[in-house]
Amino acid sequence: MTFTISAEETRQVDKHEHGVGELNIAVEGSTIEFEFMIPGADIVGFEYVAKSDEDIAKINQALKTFDDYTNIFTIPSNSLCELNGQKVALKEDDEHDEHDDHDEHAEENHNEFYAKYSFECGNINAIKEVNFPYFATFTNSGELEVQFISNMGSTSFEVEGDEPSINTDGKI
Ligand SMILES: [Zn+2]
């Protein structure tokens, strides 16, 4: 039996920077995995706990938008990738409940959207670029910091809405 602690469980959501979403892309053999961690501020414009009907509707709409990954990113169709796993969640910062003596910390609430998508690809080398409709989908979005890892090595990218794609040619 092996135990793995995934990044989503160990990461503290209050460590994020508003305006900066994180994306890890990992390629292994014929599989490619996309894992997004994006501040709520960048998606719905707030991070307090949604209580009004309007705010709850915004959160639910955003989660629904993440449910269809093509709202967030696209990969070339000739790579023959098929989605075979997906997880979408809103992760709330519940840490402050344990630190009642730090009042100033308790007032600052953070949350973030977490989304993970796994694909099995018939021709993974055809992924020469990844495009990000993300920026058009979410008008509050800032930049995306992308960590790209394959057996060729690792690369990082900073992606913004004025040029919403990364070039992965030769990196897979
Ligand atoms: Zn925050």
Distance 122 CA to ligand 1 centre (A): 38
The answer for residues whose C-beta is within 8 angstroms of residue 3's C-beta and 6 or more apart is none
> Cα(133) to centroid of ligand 1, in Å?
23
| Of 100 and 62, the one with more pLDDT | 62
Q: Tell me, in angstroms, the distance from the centre of ligand 1 to residue 20's CA.
A: 10
Instruction: Note whether 130 and 166 are within 8 A (CB).
Output: yes
**Ligand 1 centroid from CA 37, angstroms:** 11
Question: Who contacts 48 (Cβ-Cβ below 8 Å, separation ≥6)?
Answer: 109
Domain boundaries along the sequence of the chain: 14-167
Predicted pLDDT of residue 15: 79
- C-alpha 147/C-alpha 87 separation (Å) is 19
Q: For residue 11, what pLDDT is reported?
A: 62
Q: How far is the CA of 19 from the centre of ligand 1 (A)?
A: 9
- Cα 14 to averaged position of ligand 1 atoms, centre (Å): 6
Percent over 70 (pLDDT), the chain: 85
pTM for the model: 0.87
Q: Strand, helix or coil at 92?
A: strand
The CA 156 to ligand 1 mean position distance, Å, reads 23
Strand order across the 143-150 sheet = 81-92, 111-121, 31-39, 20-28, 143-150, 153-159
Quote the pLDDT of residue 2. 47
Using the predicted structure, report yes or no on whether residue 12 has a pLDDT greater than 80.
no
For ligand 1, the distance from its centroid to the CA atom of residue 39, given in whole angstroms, is 6
If one compares 13 and 28, the residue with the highest pLDDT of the two is 28
- pLDDT greater than 70 at residue 96: no
Share of the chain above pLDDT 90, in %: 78
Alpha helices in 68-160 (DSSP H): 103-106, 134-137
- Ligand 1 centroid distance, CA of 108 (Å): 8
CA of 78 from ligand 1 middle (Å) equals 38
Mean pLDDT of 71-84: 98
* Mean pLDDT value across residues 89-97: 73
In this prediction, residue 98 carries a pLDDT of: 47
Q: Which residues pair with 149 in a beta bridge?
A: 26, 154
Backbone angles phi, psi at 115, to 5 degrees: -145, 135
